[in-house]
Amino acid sequence: MPAFDINSTGESVGKVFADKIKGKTVIVTGVSPGGFGADTARALALYGAKVILAGRSLSKIQATADAIHKEIPGADLKELVLDLSSQNAVRQAAEEVLKYSGPIDVVITNAGVMGTPYEKTVDGLELQFASNHVGHFLFVNLIMPKLLESSAPRVVLASSVGHYWGPVRFDDYGFEDGKTYDKWLAYGQSKTAVILHGVELAERYKGKLVVFSVHPGGAVTNLSSSMTKEDYEKFSDFYNLDGTPKGRLGS
């Protein structure tokens, strides 16, 4: 087995595991062009997976699908509109997945937002907590029957080293209805929640489901669209020069 490092690409890793990727059905959330999700979907399609492109915007899903088809004409792609900020929309998407023929082998929960101004969803939840955790939590659990149809189901939850910035505020995850909102504590909370979701999934479905919670690394993508110059400067408070986290926010 070759060693992978910072120079490894999704394509190079996919080549090593091509025999395990071919024929699998994989849902990737958050597939806007230029992001981690789009490139993940591309690499999976390149090695023969059937990829379900899930995202909030149909036009962005189609743009990614068009780009993949241009490079890989025979790519097996399916589009799924999934708005993680709305629990009703998540339920509708899950109902659609449950109607698919055949199992879902892998779900990769890549979608998310980062460092956004305070905003409530239609369900009254803080946006980052709702989109990064609650939406995926609901979606994965609703489509569990399709995952358990697979002979070797996998759930890959995209967390972040941002979990260092804040625990789940169980007594006040809404930041006093926005009055004490700190966007980086909120981001950290959402990513800690993702990890806890993974731990519980692994425990509940032990022997039936393999769960990973991962930090995907850093890159300039549209995830940082809400960040200001001051935000980038503030990141030096969180990370050492080699990219390792210094610790929780304020520690």
Q: Which two tokens stand for residue 88?
A: 């009703």
70: part of which helix (H) or strand (E)? helix 58-71
Q: Which two tokens stand for residue 154?
A: 């996998």
Question: What CA dihedral angle connects 218, 16, 49 and 41, to 10 degrees?
Answer: 20
* Distance from C-alpha of 70 to C-alpha of 74, rounded to nearest angstrom: 9
For residue 200, the one-letter residue type is E
* Distance from C-alpha of 88 to C-alpha of 184, rounded to nearest angstrom: 27
Q: Which two tokens stand for residue 170?
A: 């169980």
Provide the sign of the torsion angle of the four alpha carbons 121, 124, 128, 134, taken in this order. negative
* Distance from C-alpha of 16 to C-alpha of 22, rounded to nearest angstrom: 12
* Distance from C-alpha of 49 to C-alpha of 207, rounded to nearest angstrom: 24
Q: Which residues contact 193 (CB under 8 A, 6 or more apart)?
A: 129, 132, 133, 137, 168
Phi, psi angles (nearest 5°) of residue 132: -80, -30
**Known catalytic membership, residue 173:** no
Tally the residues of the chain: 251
Catalytic, out of 100, 181, 205, 239: 181
Catalytic residue numbers, as ranges: 181
